[in-house]
Amino acid sequence: MGKHSLQREPRLPNSVKGALVFGAVAATTGAMPAIPAMAATINVPGIGNFDVPLDDQQVGQVNQALSDHADQIKQVQQALAPQAVAPGQAAPGLPNFAPPMPGLFEQQHQNTAGDVALDAARTKIGSEYVWGASGPSSFDCSGLVQWAYKQAGINLPRTSFEMSHVGKPVAFEQLQPGDLVIQNGGGHVAMYAGDGKILQAPQSGETVSYAPLNPDSVVTARRVA
């Protein structure tokens, strides 16, 4: 702010600068200095009237100078006023930081490996269950999960028992779409699909499909990074 004032101050005549300083003292302290007997009223545009110790000739000169430089005085006032900075703009000399892009977290979350794998598995809904099959047209339970995660660039072990040790454990209440759900004592694996459902290749005679998740059947849940 001091630098800002120095840049503008030489543009004003000494009489104008004196009146501005005098008015600033009054505005800051709330009181005027003692006024000598010979005093006159000076009007500073946009600020107000002030009694200053000048004779009539000096008063006329100062008032004329203030009138001639009224636009410059207003510019100085606007530059120094706190409200001169509009909302959302940075003050002069300060960096202007843009707010984070809305929805950025959601966009990142949609691109997790679990989401990609689950989307891949959804494309196989209706495919036949065949024990020992790992795609691309038929699957057993672990074959479907392994194939789906491969589409996300992640290689998982082949059996549900081995999959029960991958990634990190997840509490039932914190399941997210794409998490592995190990069931039936470790003999079955499905993918959590959200809304209390799983996507799985269930058993012989059935096809890849959604099913309600039974909490009592869960041995462990795993999240693959």
Whether 76 and 117 map to the same domain: the answer is: no
Whether 133 and 78 map to the same domain: the answer is: no
Whether 77 and 129 map to the same domain: the answer is: no
How confident is the model over 127-156, as a mean pLDDT?
Answer: 97
| Residues 186, 188, 194, 196, CA torsion sign | negative
Query: E-strand spans in 60-146?
Result: 128-129, 138-139
Please count the other Cβ atoms lying within 10 Å of the Cβ belonging to residue 47. 19
Predicted confidence at residue 199, as pLDDT, reads 98
Predicted confidence at residue 146, as pLDDT, reads 98
Whether 73 and 136 map to the same domain: the answer is: no
Predicted confidence at residue 135, as pLDDT, reads 93
Q: pLDDT tens digits, residue range 187-223?
A: 999 999 999 999 999 999 999 999 999 999 999 999 9
Whether 31 and 123 map to the same domain: the answer is: no
Predicted confidence at residue 64, as pLDDT, reads 72
Q: Is position 89 within any domain?
A: no
- Of 21-35, 101-115, 146-160, where does the model show the most confidence? 146-160
Whether 76 and 171 map to the same domain: the answer is: no
Predicted confidence at residue 131, as pLDDT, reads 96
Considering the chain, what percentage of its residues have pLDDT values greater than 70?
53
Domain CATH for 126: 3.90.1720.10
User: Does residue 88 have a pLDDT over 80?
Assistant: no
Predicted confidence at residue 45, as pLDDT, reads 61
Q: What is residue 208's three-state secondary structure? A: coil
Q: Is position 33 within any domain?
A: yes
Whether 197 and 118 map to the same domain: the answer is: yes
Tokens for 223? 């999240």
Mean pLDDT of the chain: 74
Q: Is position 104 within any domain?
A: no
Tokens for 45? 């545009």
User: Does residue 29 have a pLDDT over 60?
Assistant: no
Q: Is position 102 within any domain?
A: no
User: Does residue 106 have a pLDDT over 60?
Assistant: no
Predicted confidence at residue 49, as pLDDT, reads 65
Whether 117 and 208 map to the same domain: the answer is: yes
Which residues, 6+ apart, have CB-to-CB distance to 27 below 8 Å?
Answer: 47
How confident is the model over 46-54, as a mean pLDDT?
Answer: 60
124 vs 53: which has the higher pLDDT = 124
User: What domain range includes position 78?
Assistant: 2-84
DSSP 29: H
Catalytic residues, which ones?
A: 141, 188, 200
